[in-house]
Amino acid sequence: MTEKGQPGLGSVGISDVTFGKRVKVIEPVNIYGCTLGDDVFVGPFVEIQSGVRIGDRCRIQSHSFICELVTIGADCVVAHGVMFINDLFETGGPARGRKDLWRSTEIGNNVSIGSNATILPVSICDGAVIGAGSVVTRDIAERGIYAGNPARLVRRL
Protein backbone atom coordinates (compact mmCIF):
# COMPACT_ATOMS: atom_id res chain seq x y z
CA MET A 1 0.00 0.00 0.00
CA THR A 2 1.35 3.43 -0.87
CA GLU A 3 0.49 6.83 0.49
CA LYS A 4 -1.28 9.31 -1.74
CA GLY A 5 1.27 10.88 -4.05
CA GLN A 6 3.89 8.19 -3.40
CA PRO A 7 4.58 5.64 -6.12
CA GLY A 8 4.88 1.94 -5.44
CA LEU A 9 8.42 1.25 -6.60
CA GLY A 10 9.65 -2.05 -7.98
CA SER A 11 13.10 -2.95 -9.11
CA VAL A 12 14.60 -4.26 -12.29
CA GLY A 13 16.98 -7.13 -11.96
CA ILE A 14 17.68 -10.82 -11.91
CA SER A 15 15.97 -13.00 -9.34
CA ASP A 16 15.55 -16.74 -8.85
CA VAL A 17 16.94 -17.67 -12.29
CA THR A 18 18.43 -21.07 -13.10
CA PHE A 19 21.41 -20.44 -15.37
CA GLY A 20 23.11 -22.95 -17.64
CA LYS A 21 26.81 -22.70 -18.41
CA ARG A 22 28.32 -19.66 -20.16
CA VAL A 23 25.11 -17.60 -20.13
CA LYS A 24 25.60 -13.93 -20.98
CA VAL A 25 23.10 -11.29 -19.81
CA ILE A 26 23.42 -7.61 -20.69
CA GLU A 27 21.76 -5.38 -18.10
CA PRO A 28 19.37 -3.77 -17.52
CA VAL A 29 17.04 -6.75 -17.66
CA ASN A 30 14.09 -8.00 -15.67
CA ILE A 31 14.35 -11.79 -15.54
CA TYR A 32 12.92 -13.88 -12.74
CA GLY A 33 11.86 -17.43 -11.94
CA CYS A 34 12.95 -18.75 -15.34
CA THR A 35 15.45 -21.27 -16.69
CA LEU A 36 18.13 -20.37 -19.25
CA GLY A 37 20.07 -23.19 -20.94
CA ASP A 38 23.78 -23.34 -21.76
CA ASP A 39 25.31 -20.59 -23.93
CA VAL A 40 22.18 -18.41 -23.90
CA PHE A 41 22.53 -14.70 -24.67
CA VAL A 42 20.04 -12.17 -23.27
CA GLY A 43 20.29 -8.59 -24.50
CA PRO A 44 19.40 -5.41 -22.60
CA PHE A 45 15.87 -4.25 -21.82
CA VAL A 46 14.49 -7.79 -21.91
CA GLU A 47 11.85 -9.20 -19.57
CA ILE A 48 11.60 -12.95 -19.08
CA GLN A 49 8.90 -13.99 -16.64
CA SER A 50 8.48 -16.81 -14.17
CA GLY A 51 8.30 -20.36 -15.48
CA VAL A 52 9.79 -19.59 -18.90
CA ARG A 53 12.27 -22.18 -20.21
CA ILE A 54 14.83 -21.18 -22.84
CA GLY A 55 16.91 -23.91 -24.49
CA ASP A 56 20.63 -24.08 -25.13
CA ARG A 57 22.36 -21.64 -27.49
CA CYS A 58 19.42 -19.26 -27.85
CA ARG A 59 19.77 -15.51 -28.44
CA ILE A 60 17.18 -13.19 -26.97
CA GLN A 61 17.80 -9.73 -28.41
CA SER A 62 17.04 -6.38 -26.79
CA HIS A 63 13.58 -5.06 -25.94
CA SER A 64 11.87 -8.46 -26.10
CA PHE A 65 9.19 -9.67 -23.70
CA ILE A 66 8.73 -13.35 -22.90
CA CYS A 67 5.72 -13.94 -20.67
CA GLU A 68 4.83 -16.84 -18.41
CA LEU A 69 3.91 -20.17 -20.05
CA VAL A 70 6.47 -19.88 -22.88
CA THR A 71 8.97 -22.62 -23.70
CA ILE A 72 11.65 -22.02 -26.32
CA GLY A 73 13.69 -24.91 -27.73
CA ALA A 74 17.42 -24.95 -28.49
CA ASP A 75 19.31 -22.88 -31.09
CA CYS A 76 16.59 -20.23 -31.49
CA VAL A 77 16.87 -16.52 -32.22
CA VAL A 78 14.35 -14.08 -30.79
CA ALA A 79 15.20 -10.78 -32.49
CA HIS A 80 14.74 -7.26 -31.16
CA GLY A 81 11.35 -6.23 -29.81
CA VAL A 82 9.58 -9.60 -30.03
CA MET A 83 6.47 -9.84 -27.83
CA PHE A 84 4.97 -13.08 -26.53
CA ILE A 85 1.33 -13.01 -25.39
CA ASN A 86 -0.39 -15.48 -23.07
CA ASP A 87 -3.77 -13.75 -22.59
CA LEU A 88 -6.20 -13.98 -25.50
CA PHE A 89 -8.82 -11.75 -23.84
CA GLU A 90 -11.26 -14.67 -23.96
CA THR A 91 -13.72 -12.81 -21.71
CA GLY A 92 -13.63 -9.66 -23.83
CA GLY A 93 -10.86 -8.03 -21.82
CA PRO A 94 -7.69 -8.80 -19.86
CA ALA A 95 -7.68 -11.86 -17.61
CA ARG A 96 -6.86 -9.53 -14.68
CA GLY A 97 -4.88 -12.07 -12.68
CA ARG A 98 -6.97 -15.09 -13.73
CA LYS A 99 -4.07 -17.26 -14.81
CA ASP A 100 -6.50 -20.08 -15.63
CA LEU A 101 -7.39 -18.04 -18.73
CA TRP A 102 -3.78 -17.79 -19.92
CA ARG A 103 -2.52 -20.10 -22.68
CA SER A 104 0.93 -21.56 -23.31
CA THR A 105 3.37 -21.16 -26.21
CA GLU A 106 5.79 -23.84 -27.41
CA ILE A 107 8.65 -22.86 -29.73
CA GLY A 108 10.59 -25.74 -31.33
CA ASN A 109 14.32 -25.97 -32.00
CA ASN A 110 16.14 -23.87 -34.62
CA VAL A 111 13.35 -21.29 -34.84
CA SER A 112 14.12 -17.71 -35.87
CA ILE A 113 11.69 -14.96 -34.92
CA GLY A 114 12.21 -11.59 -36.63
CA SER A 115 12.18 -8.16 -35.01
CA ASN A 116 8.88 -6.81 -33.68
CA ALA A 117 6.98 -10.06 -34.24
CA THR A 118 4.10 -10.85 -31.90
CA ILE A 119 3.59 -14.46 -30.88
CA LEU A 120 0.19 -15.42 -29.47
CA PRO A 121 -0.27 -18.71 -27.57
CA VAL A 122 0.71 -21.17 -30.31
CA SER A 123 3.01 -24.05 -31.11
CA ILE A 124 5.77 -23.42 -33.66
CA CYS A 125 7.57 -26.43 -35.16
CA ASP A 126 11.31 -26.94 -35.47
CA GLY A 127 13.06 -24.93 -38.18
CA ALA A 128 10.38 -22.29 -38.76
CA VAL A 129 11.30 -18.70 -39.64
CA ILE A 130 8.95 -15.92 -38.55
CA GLY A 131 9.34 -12.68 -40.50
CA ALA A 132 9.88 -9.30 -38.88
CA GLY A 133 6.65 -7.63 -37.79
CA SER A 134 4.59 -10.80 -38.20
CA VAL A 135 1.73 -11.73 -35.90
CA VAL A 136 1.52 -15.48 -35.28
CA THR A 137 -2.08 -16.33 -34.42
CA ARG A 138 -2.19 -20.07 -35.27
CA ASP A 139 0.00 -23.11 -34.73
CA ILE A 140 2.79 -23.58 -37.26
CA ALA A 141 3.32 -27.27 -37.98
CA GLU A 142 5.29 -27.13 -41.24
CA ARG A 143 8.88 -25.92 -41.58
CA GLY A 144 8.98 -22.75 -43.67
CA ILE A 145 9.10 -18.96 -43.74
CA TYR A 146 6.01 -17.25 -42.34
CA ALA A 147 5.21 -13.55 -42.58
CA GLY A 148 2.37 -11.07 -42.30
CA ASN A 149 -0.56 -10.32 -40.05
CA PRO A 150 -1.74 -12.94 -39.53
CA ALA A 151 1.44 -14.85 -40.36
CA ARG A 152 1.08 -17.15 -43.38
CA LEU A 153 3.40 -19.56 -45.13
CA VAL A 154 5.47 -17.65 -47.68
CA ARG A 155 7.89 -20.42 -48.66
CA ARG A 156 8.59 -23.99 -47.62
CA LEU A 157 12.10 -24.80 -46.41
What is the per-residue pLDDT across 53-91, written as a single tens digit (0 to 9) for each?
A: 999 999 999 999 999 999 999 999 999 999 999 999 989
Yes or no: say if 146 and 153 are a contact pair by the CB < 8 Å rule: yes
pLDDT for the residue 114: 98
For residue 9, name the pLDDT band (cuts at 50, 70, 90).
confident
Report the CATH number that the domain containing residue 83 is assigned in CATH. Answer: 2.160.10.10
For position 1, what pLDDT does the model report? Answer: 54
Q: What proportion of the chain, given as a percentage, has pLDDT over 70?
A: 98
Q: Is residue 106 part of a domain?
A: yes
Domain span at residue 120 reads: 14-156
Distance from first CA to last CA of the chain, Å, rounded?
54
Q: Is residue 7 part of a domain?
A: no
Q: Would residue 1 count as lying in a domain?
A: no
pTM: 0.94
Task: Give the model's pLDDT for residue 2.
Answer: 56
6 occurs within a structural domain: no
pLDDT of residue 59: 98
What sign results for the dihedral spanned by CA atoms 40, 43, 44, 49? negative
Domain count across the chain: 1
9 falls within a domain: no
